[in-house]
Amino acid sequence: MCGRFTQDVDEDDLIDLYELNANAERVGVRSRWNGAPTQNFAVCRADSLGRRSLALHRWGLVPAWARDIKIGARLINARSETVHSKPSFRSAFRRRRCLVPANGWFEWQRVGSGKQPWWVSFGGEPFSFAGLWETWDRGEGAVHSFTVLTCPVAESLRWLHHRQPSIIPRERYAEWLDPATSNTALLELAQSPHAGPFAWRRVSTVVNSPRNDHPEILRPA
């Protein structure tokens, strides 16, 4: 699964990454070096006409039919193998896909009686997770939320974990966001593990607490 990730990208760089209009409305992207569920992150969405924009969404999908926002804490990830059929995700999978910019994600490797955290990246360059988004509204203000898809892990990361976030290559962003893309193509995109090349480093167990959110989190342990 993906339970913590880094989103340290300047908003102007996101406008370039997603080929947005240079005059696009700014949403106030905040750097997160140890981003955790229930926090707000930038995502890239497209409307029915294919126009892309940035938005701030809460991590942890809250389906429109949910009785309580707390369900989002259990829906931070969606398995790409079943995302098209699970009641919590299937509607968003068909109609509300997004791209979640990231610099890397954290994974914990069991070592003896403890766990060693690692940070996995493309050398720090921004890339995009496959995401889904939803709007939940019970009359007290809408909550926009998202989940990150996961898939079987690439061969180069098999030593660390058996799954990884689904990563959409830049040349296929339009395909992922396009409402006309077929289920077959979407599932192929989501289920194909990106092969990298990845970079990884041991980091301090300071990352274990989401209260610690600063650049030093990423220093090699």
User: What residues act catalytically?
Assistant: 2, 107
- Nearest-angstrom CA–CA distance, 12 and 186: 28
Residue bearing tokens 């949403």: 27
220: Cα separation from own chain's centroid = 23
- Nearest-angstrom CA–CA distance, 148 and 144: 14
Residue bearing tokens 């990454």: 17
CB-count burial class (<10 Å; 0-12, 13-18, 19+) for 14: buried
Q: DSSP 3-state assignment of 201?
A: strand
143: Cα separation from own chain's centroid = 17
Question: Which region, left, alpha or beta, applies to residue 71 given φ > 0 means left and ψ of -120 to 50 means alpha?
Answer: alpha
List 148's β-bridge partners, or say none: 77, 131
DSSP secondary structure of 175-200: HHH-TTS-HHHHHHHHHS------EE
Q: Which helix (H) or strand (E) holds 91?
A: helix 90-95
